[in-house]
Homo-oligomer: A and B are copies of this chain.
Amino acid sequence: MAIIFSRKCELGIQAVLYLASAEGREVISSEEIANELKIPKEFISKILQELTASGIISSKKGKMGGFSLAKNPNKIHLLDIVVAIDGSDIFSSCVLGFPNCSSETPCPMHGRWSKLIDETYKMLNEETIDNYKNKVLRKINSLK
C-alpha cells in the first residue's frame, strides 16, 4: 500500500524530477522516462498528460516531441504536484478516519497528528524541484 501519496502521484513526482535533472535538453519522450524509471510507458504517459493539463509540465506533439518543465524548477514545489494529482484532502482528513475531525471535535490522535501533517505540508511547500534534481540522479542511476 502506498503510504501517503497514490502510486500515480509517486510516479508523477519521479517523472518531474527526471525532467528537471535533464535540463539543457529540449524535450524528453515518455518512452525515455519510462525506461529510466523502470515503469510502464503507458502508465507514465497518462500521468504526464495530467501534469500537462495542470500546467506543471508542457508537451510538444509530433515527431521529436516530448515533455519538459513548464516553468523554472525553482518555481515548482513538490506540493504543486501532490495537489494536482491527489488533491489536498490528505492535509485535512482524519488519520483515524473519523468524520469532521477538527479542534472542536478532535479524534484522540488529532493533536499530535496535526503537527506531523503540518511538518509534511511545510516540507512539500518549501522544497522545490530544483533542490532535488541533483539528488535524484544518483537514485535513478542506482535503478540500473
Asked if A106 CB lies within 8 Å of chain B CBs, one says yes
Given contact pairs A89-B1, A120-B116, A97 touches B139 in the complex (Cβ within 8 A): no
Asked if A7 CB lies within 8 Å of chain B CBs, one says yes
* C-alpha spacing A13/B101, complex, angstroms: 15
This chain's copy number in the assembly: 2
Chain A 100-144 near chain B by CB (<8 Å), digits 1 or 0: 110001111100110010011001000100011001101100110
The answer on a CB contact under 8 Å between B4 and A95 is yes
Interfacial residues, chain A to chain B (CB-CB below 8 A): 1-7, 10-11, 13-14, 17, 78, 86, 89-90, 93, 95-101, 105-109, 112-113, 116, 119-120, 123, 127, 131-132, 135-136, 138-139, 142-143
